[in-house]
Structure 1
């Protein structure tokens, strides 16, 4: 393997670089040395670890002499010097030449051993260089070299108008000497070896140094030489090969631009004159050489170049030209047209280009004016005086013929007009008319894009769709650049939307909105077809008379949105009217109603104002209302009355505890006083709340006659016959389902659906039973109109306002924003934070509980088994195993509460129960009254036993508690009986008013945080005088922490559609399950 003696390495690299290379060698940073043979050249490849892994290549001649090398590190980017990585590989090669014992049984020879003196000396240099900040350089101790570059330019016989050049070099200190072989000079610099230039001068690279600007030019020349040499040897090169003598380096065209840029800052650069035997100083002017001339010859104008006999020549593949031994650098972008003109003139036989006055006018702005501005054009005063420069005024004349739409484009400049196609000018004149060819081209491009074609006489557009799109898309843009004149026939072809007179009228009694087109441009059949075109989202409609109506305006698009769920038939477009449900009025945006040609009836404007701002709907509170309504409750009452006045229903979605029941009873009383002979209202509520409604009605609206339908079926039948005089019927969802036949044929004035989430499933029996009720006005009450998914809203509005949404499959395609836009007028939502500034704070916190030892062992055993089962079940498919998976998740949640809930032989306690008992003891001592919620009645049973043993007084309520007892227990608790109330989350989470409590404990987490919020609001509601503390008990390190995290991630759906600040939890997905169990 070839190598370099260490003495030579030290000389090549210098002491500092050598010391660093030695350090790398001793640390073992060199990896994977390989040798490759390529003809007479031997290549050594290696990798060296530095700040990153660098690739080193060393080249040796057949004689073993080192020729060249390279490294991918930044320090070797100049390609001129040996870097520390190259030095390290050279030292490694040198060390490999030491005799080694090759016997299999011999002791291994230690590699990389150097003398202590050598290593110490090298490292000493490295230490001082690195830490002292005083690197010894040639510049500080040596002598500067002068460098003189001489360029000689030659004609390229392949391209007679182009040149290439060579570079020769003279160097010296006081006197300059010709470098006879530049390759030797570069080798001397790389290898740090002496190079005799003459008998009197020897170049010493360790002593002599070049100025930075000269060094950069030399590096470029060295690159060129190396590339040419490598290409000869068959290796990769950056530049194309060109023949070079030892003394004069021929610069290849691809490197010429960079070479000239490197030479520009050098102080001594000369050009060998092409006409004189002398050197001319190298100068670069940034302009195009020479001048142009324009003369008149008869009716034409001749443009020529001033130095046609000896024109400038371009230096191949560069932006440089040489002329009269000087270099000129052009701007390829700014001077592009001038350069093109020059080359065109050089290609003509006499170096002249004849142009007519019209042609000069057309190229004036591009060529003539820039040449004049740069003082590059000579012309006579008579030519200059004949130039007419006026602004362009484009005119387009449109007409309608039997075979299509015609266009006549004219370009006017002052008194002159030119036809855009025929170029005919009037008046005819020999003046040079300066034309704005760019703008002319842009205008003609619009016309061409429209599809106009020249039929020999005029431009014509024949296809129906092309004519429509011209008026829709191109004409508005064309009008920005030209004056457009239309004949009456052409004007009648296009009917702008703003010229259509539209009447929008409302008939609340019939529930219809009529959109009428009061215009002679459309007949009754047109209205039908125009509406169909809108519904099909077409961009234009062609009338029966042949006119085109744009369907792309903003109000047309708004009307298009209204039509999506409305069938377009000949029946609902009679008398030039489009009839649609009146609620569509609220989907008309302000921009549409303010559009030109739109006229909205007073009734329609009243509807929009009253629904958007119910305060503007003037209505008195009913007489003998036994309550003082707060302002927001009056607003809710006005909103319900306004919706009723216009035949709508809605959802009162106020926060729990804000008095939805009171607002609704006020509304019912008002309607009964207004229409005492009308059929009764029907209130449908959960079984647990029917008596709450009765009590509240007796309290606030004692004039209302209330009939509660309950008991056995015979009892209910009897109640039916005796309740004919009632103002309000109250029943439950389960009884409504059972009594569906009894309700058939019965008409109610209004229907109130309390806790309307009971009909959220459109496939349920409750939904079907409620939807069959015949009632003129329907309102839903729900603090959580969305509990899990958006389809729940569809179910509610399918009952309240049938037709507001399309069928379920199309509803799912609507975005949350589209849904929100439709429901916004029909949902009123206020939170406690917004309207009850005087309501005491609700302080929410989480109390983390440790599982005790026995409980944790049990939990972990079940967790591992359930994780394995669930992983397998998910592979088989979530849909087929959902019930099993959810049952297993419930088991884990029960273990967090108390293993004894389902393990009969469990004798231990529960960390969470122990924490609850300590909390209850502290609460009793501090006089706090507590509601304890759990979704598991078996857990409530365990808690009740613990309370009994501790002597804590409490009430108990679950789904088995009769409705009448619920009211009695609530009243007793609020009056001060018992310290606490144990409540099933499902049975007592809604409808109870328990303001006697000031503390709420959520013993276990529920998937839906809205249900937990409802439970907390049993205490935090109107009438509460104290701060309410809500505490969630969470078993640390268990699935309950995962549920809490999942709740936080699932709060976007309600926010998007109803109102910011609430939350909802979608059904558990596979990803949710994997997250809960860390699968």
Structure 2
């Protein structure tokens, strides 16, 4: 009953016909359900009966192939195949269930299919005879066929001596004439023969499945059979891939043999590289080398293939060179980086002296000890490596005490200059690039220098020279065309001429002389190699060139190339080769940038504040003198002359003392013109030199990861700055007196913790009570009469909790009332601090000035 329930539950056909199948205690099992029935009851005791004459057999159900023993023997003219224990009896029409002995078998589908013809052959007998007339063919076909039905085949001694049954082994014999050919052989128990032939001495039971598998592998690799051999019928690229990657895979199938004529991939070892570096003519070393037995002509072709990013080169003798093999690649990289010309000639490379250190380092790092160097190149390397150990005497007349890292910068300048090399001083903003440069130029008396800087910085350079090297004669080429022509014509009267990028473009034809030095400040101005500025500065003739920039690379590697193309033309090759060699290959892996770094490292000196923090004070202060824009200058001078005449008249009319409030209004308007004339003139369409300078500083500071506070007394100016920042998509915060106390604290927290990099702050509203220690740069957009008020504002960042050096920049419009305010701050600082205190008002300050001091404000 259990069985009936199980069958009913597991077979929907049984459920459908169960009323017809069950008759009392008898169940009729349809043929198509018998196999499933056995699967259900196979764990129970089963008794088999046979019709009316019951052969009661206790049987078990076995779900496995049937172990049928066969024997194969030879008698006179026949070969006899015998089923030793008879054949199994099918219990279903589908022949998927068998009775064999006392067991019921449910064999695999494969055995059922292979067993079917044998059931017919042995239907009335246990022995089958085959004529010996074609014995080999019969044995070759019969033995594999029987073994597919049963693993139990016994061979008589006579047949066993004629038949080879064993595991297959493979051998691959490669040869090469015009094409790569292969003799593909199989072997059974030591009997080896061509895969495409029949073996005649023995009857071999061949493992056709395994043989065909390996044959398929060979075809997939590009081999085709022609007259009993296999030939590689693909191109050189596929042949190289076969030699490099695939041929070794055949070793897992069998043994691989090569003829003497067979040429695969040539093995290159480091010991195959021979060479010598010697002092050449002028400023060159000569690098002569040999790669094994490869000819000069083929060496040049190999290098050309490497430059074209090919992975291989096919030698004249048919061998391949793997251009990605480590030893060969190292040599080719060296050759490519040293070679200035497009083509290699006679295994000799003229190496510029400025690449001497790179060559020496490369030979040492890559272990190419078979290439001999020379003393001169070692000296160049040692000088560049030991800059900190060099101690050039500081020049007389330097009015500054250099910090240690600044002395290192000076020594770096002097070392490169001694060797005739240019370089890039890439110190972070605020570390004194200008001072280090001035120290170099002061140490070179009688030299002539051209400095090219942004318009906003030219007067700052002049003031820095005046401060640190007052003995030097400095001229600024910034007047009208006639004035500039006259100044440049008399350039020998000056130690240094300072001009702007814009004016250099206009005056380029005037600079046909040769300078000792050409210095670029904010050299990122030539980052676009196609710009007029870049093209113009590269036309200047100079014995040596240096570039100053806090951001040698802002967005693209090509910016670095453009600057190097100025400081040492050709050092990083021409633009096309640099693009091919580095720019387009950046995604190939870190080794590309590592190689470039090895080339440029000696010629870039870059320090960050955090790396020299022990040498820095907590706060670095500097004045940045900025010229007015051309339109701004006209407005300023016109209004200054007008006010000066009014005040002069009041002095003459003895009305000066009672007019100080009116005078203060004039001064305030003049100060606003210095910042942004548009806040006093509705229709002003010109630019502001100070705002332009501010934006440059902000862009560079953000690029370097800084946060900046910008203070101004005038909220109208701050709002105009905010509009520009918004247009440039800078994230900034803004605070003036209209912000409530609660919102002030919220804005402070958001700035300290959030993404905004700039905080515009009204001096009056934010000068006290704020903790903005996330900022490390403070910019005073306009000078205040009382320096103590500026100091209080600075202390929003420079206070307890600040972990970084704070840089304080005071922007001052050169040649204006702002410059006079700075002078008055210095002259009256003691009076302000000791007598009037920190609460000095503007009116109080004006009251400290006499008539002449006020009139002088407008000069």
**TM bracket, shorter-chain basis:** 0.5 to 0.7
| Alpha-carbon distance between aligned partners in 2 of 1:563 and 1:809, rounded to the nearest angstrom | 17
| Alpha-carbon distance between aligned partners in 1 of 2:88 and 2:148, rounded to the nearest angstrom | 25
- Which residue is equivalent to 1:297? 74
SS in 2 for 1:575: coil
Q: Does 1:488 align with 2:280?
A: no
Alignment of 1:183-202 (within 5 A): none
| Alpha-carbon distance between aligned partners in 1 of 2:414 and 2:317, rounded to the nearest angstrom | 48
Deviation at 1:740, TM superposition (A): 1.9
Which of 169, 172, 183 is the matching residue for 1:408?
183
| Alpha-carbon distance between aligned partners in 2 of 1:274 and 1:635, rounded to the nearest angstrom | 113
Which of 224, 230, 235 is the matching residue for 2:13?
224
SS in 2 for 1:477: helix
Alignment of 1:26-175 (within 5 A): 147-149=1-3, 169=4
The verdict on how the C-alpha distance between 1:691 and 1:259 changes in structure 2, with shifts beyond 3 A counting, is farther
2:8–2:14 Cα contact (<8 Å) kept: no
- Which residue is equivalent to 2:710? none
- Which residue is equivalent to 1:553? 325
Alignment of 1:746-785 (within 5 A): 746-762=513-529, 764-775=531-542, 777-785=544-552
| Alpha-carbon distance between aligned partners in 2 of 1:448 and 1:754, rounded to the nearest angstrom | 65
1:531–1:568 Cα contact (<8 Å) kept: no
SS in 2 for 1:573: coil
SS in 2 for 1:488: coil
| Alpha-carbon distance between aligned partners in 1 of 2:158 and 2:118, rounded to the nearest angstrom | 24
Unaligned runs of 5+ in 2: 620-721, 748-759, 796-807, 834-859
Which of 518, 522, 525 is the matching residue for 2:295?
522
SS in 2 for 1:766: helix
The verdict on how the C-alpha distance between 1:892 and 1:766 changes in structure 2, with shifts beyond 3 A counting, is closer
| Alpha-carbon distance between aligned partners in 2 of 1:437 and 1:218, rounded to the nearest angstrom | 47
Deviation at 1:271, TM superposition (A): 6.4
The verdict on how the C-alpha distance between 1:886 and 1:914 changes in structure 2, with shifts beyond 3 A counting, is closer
SS in 2 for 1:490: coil
Q: Which has the higher helix share?
A: 2
Q: Does 1:743 align with 2:515?
A: no
**Bigger relative contact order, structure 1 or 2 (CA pairs below 8 A, ≥6 apart):** 2
Q: Does 1:418 align with 2:196?
A: no
Alignment of 1:248-267 (within 5 A): 261-264=39-42
- Which residue is equivalent to 2:392? 622
SS in 1 for 2:70: strand
The verdict on how the C-alpha distance between 1:932 and 1:395 changes in structure 2, with shifts beyond 3 A counting, is closer
Deviation at 1:482, TM superposition (A): 4.7
Deviation at 1:415, TM superposition (A): 5.6
- Which residue is equivalent to 1:833? 610
Instruction: State the Cα deviation string for residues 687-743 of structure 1 (Å, max 9, x = none).
Output: 4545655676788789x9564444536665565566548776554434433432222
2:356–2:380 Cα contact (<8 Å) kept: no
The verdict on how the C-alpha distance between 1:379 and 1:686 changes in structure 2, with shifts beyond 3 A counting, is same
SS in 2 for 1:407: strand
Deviation at 1:542, TM superposition (A): 3.7
SS in 2 for 1:489: coil
Alignment of 1:796-807 (within 5 A): 796-800=563-567, 804=572, 806=575
2:779–2:810 Cα contact (<8 Å) kept: no
The verdict on how the C-alpha distance between 1:536 and 1:735 changes in structure 2, with shifts beyond 3 A counting, is closer
- Which residue is equivalent to 1:658? 431
Deviation at 1:342, TM superposition (A): 4.5
Q: Which moved more, 1:887-896 or 1:574-583?
A: 887-896
Unaligned runs of 5+ in 1: 1-146, 150-168, 170-213, 230-241, 843-884, 902-909, 981-1079
SS in 2 for 1:780: strand
| Alpha-carbon distance between aligned partners in 1 of 2:614 and 2:184, rounded to the nearest angstrom | 70
1:396–1:407 Cα contact (<8 Å) kept: yes
SS in 2 for 1:224: helix
The verdict on how the C-alpha distance between 1:949 and 1:314 changes in structure 2, with shifts beyond 3 A counting, is same
| Alpha-carbon distance between aligned partners in 1 of 2:51 and 2:333, rounded to the nearest angstrom | 80
1:410–1:420 Cα contact (<8 Å) kept: yes
1:648–1:777 Cα contact (<8 Å) kept: yes
TM-score, normalised to structure 2, is 0.58
SS in 2 for 1:572: coil
Deviation at 1:772, TM superposition (A): 2.0
Deviation at 1:528, TM superposition (A): 4.3
1:395–1:484 Cα contact (<8 Å) kept: yes
Instruction: State the Cα deviation string for residues 464-516 of structure 1 (Å, max 9, x = none).
Output: 6365554344434345655444343334x754455964758698965789685
- Which residue is equivalent to 1:602? 373
Instruction: State the Cα deviation string for residues 226-285 of structure 1 (Å, max 9, x = none).
Output: 7x69xxxxxxxxxxxx997566686796x98876655556x5777676897477667333
2:451–2:520 Cα contact (<8 Å) kept: yes
Alignment of 1:185-584 (within 5 A): 217-221=7-11, 223-224=12-13, 245=21, 261-264=39-42, 277=54, 283-297=60-74, 306=84, 309-311=87-89, 323=100, 326-328=103-105, 342=115, 345=118, 376-378=152-154, 395-401=171-177, 403-411=178-186, 416-422=191-197, 424=199, 444-445=215-216, 447-456=218-227, 458-461=229-232, 465=236, 470-478=242-250, 482-491=254-263, 495-498=266-269, 501=273, 503=275, 516-524=289-297, 526-544=298-316, 546-554=318-326, 572-576=343-347
1:313–1:323 Cα contact (<8 Å) kept: no
| Alpha-carbon distance between aligned partners in 2 of 1:358 and 1:634, rounded to the nearest angstrom | 96
| Alpha-carbon distance between aligned partners in 1 of 2:30 and 2:363, rounded to the nearest angstrom | 72
SS in 1 for 2:767: helix
The verdict on how the C-alpha distance between 1:888 and 1:398 changes in structure 2, with shifts beyond 3 A counting, is closer
1:408–1:458 Cα contact (<8 Å) kept: yes
1:632–1:835 Cα contact (<8 Å) kept: yes
- Which residue is equivalent to 2:667? none
2:767–2:792 Cα contact (<8 Å) kept: no
1:654–1:660 Cα contact (<8 Å) kept: yes
| Alpha-carbon distance between aligned partners in 1 of 2:464 and 2:519, rounded to the nearest angstrom | 15
| Alpha-carbon distance between aligned partners in 2 of 1:503 and 1:787, rounded to the nearest angstrom | 40
SS in 1 for 2:519: strand
| Alpha-carbon distance between aligned partners in 2 of 1:566 and 1:642, rounded to the nearest angstrom | 22
Q: Which moved more, 1:961-970 or 1:705-714?
A: 961-970
SS in 1 for 2:183: strand
| Alpha-carbon distance between aligned partners in 2 of 1:619 and 1:329, rounded to the nearest angstrom | 90
Instruction: State the Cα deviation string for residues 67-93 of structure 1 (Å, max 9, x = none).
Output: xxxxxxxxxxxxxxxxxxxxxxxxxxx
The verdict on how the C-alpha distance between 1:968 and 1:441 changes in structure 2, with shifts beyond 3 A counting, is farther
- Which residue is equivalent to 2:698? none
Alignment of 1:724-735 (within 5 A): 724=492, 730-735=498-503
1:692–1:967 Cα contact (<8 Å) kept: no
1:750–1:778 Cα contact (<8 Å) kept: yes
| Alpha-carbon distance between aligned partners in 2 of 1:311 and 1:225, rounded to the nearest angstrom | 25
Instruction: State the Cα deviation string for residues 756-788 of structure 1 (Å, max 9, x = none).
Output: 223334454433322222345544322233456
| Alpha-carbon distance between aligned partners in 2 of 1:306 and 1:975, rounded to the nearest angstrom | 127
2:170–2:255 Cα contact (<8 Å) kept: yes
SS in 1 for 2:533: helix
Deviation at 1:683, TM superposition (A): 3.5
1:758–1:766 Cα contact (<8 Å) kept: yes
